[in-house]
Amino acid sequence: MPDGIQNVYDFSAPLLDGVPVGLSAFRGRVLLIVNTASKCGFTPQYEGLEALYRKYKDAGFTVLGFPCNQFGGQEPGSASEIGNFCESRYAVSFPVFGKIDVNGPAAHPLYQFLKQAQPGLLGIGRIPWNFAKFLVDREGKPVARFAPRKSPASLAPEIEKLLNA
């Protein structure tokens, strides 16, 4: 992890279509960063994530989805298959990025940063499964981490607090 990184705006990643996007494009927004998968027991959370996005996007909130195939091979598809699944099954309209690793030596630098900033249960850092969630304030600082089983709807009070800060 490079020294001096202060916030998520220092990172970039390609969207599903391969176009790289600097997270600085989301500067000033409250973000919910989630590692996703299409064939997981938590996959129906896409519906709740989309509902949060639609409810709060005009107030300055964005969900960022990062597909990951590190947990039980539950995201085996290509970028176009992932995009088609998200759109046709859950009408996802928030940004979904290309597939990344969230753990191990090939973990995307964004996830290295998130895990360092919010190490989670017992401070171990490791992402336990698909649909782990990081809440990021308008300054790009990770302020909370939520377990995969935590429903998106239950995060609304935390999101509202940051939107109204």
Tokens representing residue 12 in the block: 């970039």
Residue 21 lies in a domain: no
Residue 112 lies in a domain: yes
The residue with tokens 């995969």 is: 148
Environment class of residue 91 by beta-carbon count within 10 Å: exposed (0-12), middle (13-18) or buried (19+)? Answer: exposed
Residue 6 lies in a domain: no
Q: Tens of pLDDT along the chain (165 residues)?
A: 445 678 999 999 999 999 999 999 999 999 999 999 999 999 999 999 999 999 999 999 999 999 999 999 999 999 999 999 999 999 999 999 999 999 999 999 999 999 999 998 777 789 999 999 999 999 999 999 999 999 999 999 999 999 998
- Taking every pair of Cα atoms in the chain, the longest distance, rounded to a whole number of angstroms, is 41
CATH of the domain at 68: 3.40.30.10
Q: Quick check: helix, strand or coil at residue 92?
A: coil
Residue 107 lies in a domain: yes
Active-site pick, 13, 16, 30, 40:
40
Query: By residue range, what is the domain housing residue 79?
Result: 34-163
CA–CA separation, 11 and 149 (whole Å): 27
Residue 24 lies in a domain: no
Tokens representing residue 138 in the block: 């308008």
Angle at 90 between CA 88 and CA 93, to 5 degrees: 90
Domain count across the chain? 1
Residue 5 lies in a domain: no
Is there a catalytic annotation at residue 40? yes
Residue 12 lies in a domain: no
Residue 14 lies in a domain: no
CA–CA separation, 124 and 138 (whole Å): 26
